[in-house]
Structure 1
Amino acid sequence: MSSSIDKKWISFGALMLGSGTIYKLGFMKDAFYVPMQQFMGLSHTQIGTAMSLAGFISTFGFLASIYLTDKTSKKIMVPLSLLGICLSGLWLSTFPSYEIFLLIYCLLAIFSDMMFWPTMLKTVRLLGSKDEQGRMFGILEAGRGLVDTIIAFCALAIFSACGSDAFGLRAAILFYAIVPGVIGVITYFLLEPDKKQPKTENTGSGMSEDIAKIKMALQNKFIWLVSFNIFLVYSVYCGLTYFIPFLKDIYGLPVVLVGVYGIINQYGLKMLGGPIGGFLADKALKSATKYMKIAFLITALVLVGFAFLPHDSINIYVGMTVTIFISALVFSMRAIFFAPMDEVDVPREITGAAMSIGSFIGYLPGAFMYTIYGSLLDGNPGYAGYKMVFLLMVGFAVLGFLLSTYILKKIYK
């Protein structure tokens, strides 16, 4: 039993390392949004288009992963995806043309979202029992936040030490590329091969077992309900990116400090939001869905108030504090938004397919929300554009509150 527990946490730690580094290049705008504009010549819309194109590729990647995650061992999938990220990052460091930049972002999406993410989610769910789901995903998000923060601050330090110019940005990109490559090699030796899940009566209908699992997942209405709730959390999450240029454009925060804020806002809050969300869901409310319902409501109310604050006459620390609070709420929901898969009793033998469908629907906003938010900002300069972004986020939070309420009623029945 001791050996089994050790293997469980070794696998968990390896996945935490991988998940904390694999998205650094695809989301380098979190710490380097302004330098990307200055030294790579990118506009709000161009950055948003790259993010949305990557999200579009991820969408179809999640569809492919419905088959791959239950068919291919994590011992192969995880290291291969991390090494693919490394090679893509080396190419990105050459500051290619915008067309090649878009192609690289597509490759980053394939390696991270099609190959890595559903495999990681499946493994984490199977590592924990039913009453551990909130905590397991909460600890994962906190661990990711710690790794994210350390790696991002190291990259920002490299950028600053190298002159905070184009050379510094290139050096930071190379760092972001090399780290997942090294971790990819390490995870190959740490991860155990997959164990086959036992067959059930539902998967023996005369068709292949893999197709039967996919069919079971697609016919499960609760998987779709949970997936659309994830969709709404992620739609709000996409808007958090624009707190970063907001503080520079409206409050005049210096570029390096904007980078520091971006790291705290996008990564550091995972360490806070993850454990809090997991603990409240498992221990206090006994329901991840109930926690998300409450968090959606608070997020909507705070965002409404924030959208109408007189930002030209209030202290910058007020704006920073409110945005960090909103981000913490959203990250607490992100940490546990897959946990309801156990709450609605999704069969464990179709975990891979369920997580892939959840990822496909849930992360779909990445295919278009960044373009929408970026276009609003470019088409409405100044605070007017940011106000539109914030109110759109409010709309998604309200829909999330309503859907969470509906899911809870179904669970109680």
Structure 2
Amino acid sequence: MNAFKKWLALFVLSFGYASMFTLPYAKYVFYDPMMTALKCTNFELGAMVSVYVIIGIFTFVPGGWVADRFPARTTISVSLVAQGLLTILFGINMTMKVGWIVWVAFAFTNCFAYWAAALKGVRLLGDKNDQGKMYGFFEAGYGLSTVVISFIALGIFGRYVDPVAGFRMVVFIYSGFSILAGILTWLLYEEYMAETNEDKPVVGLKDVIIVLKQPVVWLIALVIMTTYGLYVGQTYLTPYLTAVVGITVTFSGALAIIRTYGVKLLGGPVGGFMADKWKSPCRVLTIGYIFIIVMLFIFLNLPAKPSLGVVIVLMLLVAFVGAGMKGIMWSTVEESKVPRYYTGLAIGTASIIGYLADIVLGPLFGYWLDTYGNSGYNFMFAFLIAISVVGLVAALGILKLKKTAFSIITTNVNTNINTKI
């Protein structure tokens, strides 16, 4: 397979992934203009995003089934273009009523079949020996694309005196990126680009039960939940720097950009190379969990007024290792020997548990900080240590079960495909 074409297709998937989630989470960049445009309260804006996430979680499994029934290229392209059209609809009529309709619809354009299809698409670009690099560079490309899209949007927004008019133009720009990504995916991505000797049966409803019965799939879910939970938890180091260390909001924000995007560009590929060299993402993850446990334990034992230099070093180390882990977490699907025709179902099932962090951690950490002030960070660090231990146990569990998890199913695949609906 042409290497240039493979890496170009991978970047297109990363670009589409970044384009898909810009508007649903636009409040993180354009919070005040969005509130002004929608004439809504803080609660209403937050509730709209929360409902989108909750509905999205319920679409993961059926979406995974769809992703296994239809070609990845078709599913990804159609979802991206549909997202772009919905975004145009919102830009034309930016009201709270239309916002609710569009955000609910977003759960079906980007959380339904697209989610599993995009991650499955990454897997299909490589063989079993380079899954770490595929997912690591996918994560890096996602970070780079997000930075570029965000800066373009901010630049355009800054040209308008009226914040509502500026935000409306940003919405149209987001729609353009989404539609462009859909077109590029259709033109540049090929289904099953990586050679495989696996049979490719038509996946039916009975296969949902088959995948749900596999313990290794739920261990993958725990790995995703804990790794992504650590990523979400790191975002609270931004207010930690201002509230505990005492630096300015501007300086803290600059460090947040470096931690979120700059480190990701390096951490993702490094984690991928290590996973492929050791031929085991789970081995890299186990070391990562242990390292982060040690770093968080140091955070727990810092003095009331810690040194800025020490905190920055600890933060960047945690961010770097966390980015490497996040970059390879989905390559555990390959290591677990999940048949490629079950990739969408496995990803959809694991995502139900894996992305609960988006719903749970924000309110939980917010409650601790509201109730206990700066002492709430100690609760947060202790909690992150606990989920790191869970992730460590789950990764070790995958290492133990991966040899036999799907062996019976793959041996009898011809019997299974005769029962498809």
Provide the C-alpha distance between the structure 1 equivalents of 2:154 and 2:82, rounded to a whole number of angstroms.
23
The letter for the 1-side match of 2:266 is L
Contact 1:55 1:365 in 2 (8 A): no
Contact 2:72 2:120 in 1 (8 A): no
Instruction: Name the counterpart of 1:65.
Output: 63
Residue 292 of structure 1, CA deviation: 0.7
Secondary structure of 1:142 counterpart: helix
Partner residue of 2:248 out of 250, 253, 260:
253
For residues 272-287 of structure 1, the aligned pairs below 5 Å read: 272-283=266-277, 285-287=278-280
For residues 78-117 of structure 1, the aligned pairs below 5 Å read: 78-90=76-88, 96-97=95-96, 101=99, 104-117=102-115
Instruction: Identify the range of structure 1 (151-160 vs 265-274) with the bigger mean alpha-carbon deviation.
Output: 151-160
Instruction: Name the counterpart of 1:404.
Output: 395
Structure 1: gaps (5+ residues):
none
Secondary structure of 1:192 counterpart: coil
- The Cα offsets for residues 278-336 of structure 1, whole Å up to 9 and x where unpaired, read as 111121x3311111111112112212322443464633x55444333322222211111
- The Cα offsets for residues 167-214 of structure 1, whole Å up to 9 and x where unpaired, read as 65555454334322322233233333569998859x7xxxx8513433
Contact 1:16 1:143 in 2 (8 A): yes
User: Structure 1 pair 106/239, CA: closer, same or farther in 2 (3 Å)?
Assistant: farther
Secondary structure of 2:320 counterpart: helix
Secondary structure of 2:70 counterpart: coil
The two structures have a TM-score, normalised by structure 2, of: 0.80
Instruction: Name the counterpart of 1:225.
Output: 219
The letter for the 1-side match of 2:217 is I
Contact 1:145 1:270 in 2 (8 A): yes
User: Structure 1 pair 91/396, CA: closer, same or farther in 2 (3 Å)?
Assistant: farther
Residue 238 of structure 1, CA deviation: 2.1
The letter for the 2-side match of 1:191 is Y
Provide the C-alpha distance between the structure 2 equivalents of 1:244 and 1:91, rounded to a whole number of angstroms.
35
How large is the Cα RMSD of the aligned pairs? 3.6
Residue 249 of structure 1, CA deviation: 4.9
Residue 362 of structure 1, CA deviation: 1.8
Partner residue of 1:395 out of 379, 386, 395:
386
Instruction: Identify the range of structure 1 (71-80 vs 304-313) with the bigger mean alpha-carbon deviation.
Output: 304-313
Contact 2:124 2:192 in 1 (8 A): no
Instruction: Name the counterpart of 2:413.
Output: none
User: Structure 1 pair 376/408, CA: closer, same or farther in 2 (3 Å)?
Assistant: same
Contact 2:117 2:344 in 1 (8 A): yes
Instruction: Name the counterpart of 1:271.
Output: 265
User: Structure 1 pair 165/259, CA: closer, same or farther in 2 (3 Å)?
Assistant: farther
Residue 118 of structure 1, CA deviation: 0.6
Structure 2: gaps (5+ residues):
405-421
Instruction: Name the counterpart of 1:12.
Output: 10
Partner residue of 2:302 out of 306, 309, 319:
309
Tell whether 2:319 aligns with 1:327: yes
The letter for the 2-side match of 1:304 is F
Tell whether 2:145 aligns with 1:144: no
Tell whether 2:230 aligns with 1:236: yes
Provide the C-alpha distance between the structure 2 equivalents of 1:103 and 1:320, rounded to a whole number of angstroms.
42
User: Structure 1 pair 6/212, CA: closer, same or farther in 2 (3 Å)?
Assistant: farther
User: Structure 1 pair 95/259, CA: closer, same or farther in 2 (3 Å)?
Assistant: farther
Tell whether 2:343 aligns with 1:351: yes
Structure scoring higher RCO (CA < 8 A, sep ≥ 6) equals 1
Secondary structure of 1:130 counterpart: coil
- The Cα offsets for residues 128-175 of structure 1, whole Å up to 9 and x where unpaired, read as 111111111112111212212222233344455557966655554543
User: Structure 1 pair 269/172, CA: closer, same or farther in 2 (3 Å)?
Assistant: farther
Residue 62 of structure 1, CA deviation: 0.6
Instruction: Name the counterpart of 2:51.
Output: 53
* Fraction of identical pairs, as percent: 28
Provide the C-alpha distance between the structure 1 equivalents of 2:164 and 2:396, rounded to a whole number of angstroms.
49
Provide the C-alpha distance between the structure 2 equivalents of 1:405 and 1:188, rounded to a whole number of angstroms.
38
Contact 1:135 1:275 in 2 (8 A): yes
Provide the C-alpha distance between the structure 2 equivalents of 1:33 and 1:244, rounded to a whole number of angstroms.
17
Tell whether 2:361 aligns with 1:361: no
For residues 166-185 of structure 1, the aligned pairs below 5 Å read: 171-185=169-183
Residue 266 of structure 1, CA deviation: 2.8
Number of equivalences: 400
User: Structure 1 pair 385/86, CA: closer, same or farther in 2 (3 Å)?
Assistant: farther
Contact 2:139 2:264 in 1 (8 A): yes
Secondary structure of 2:69 counterpart: coil
Provide the C-alpha distance between the structure 2 equivalents of 1:95 and 1:253, rounded to a whole number of angstroms.
34
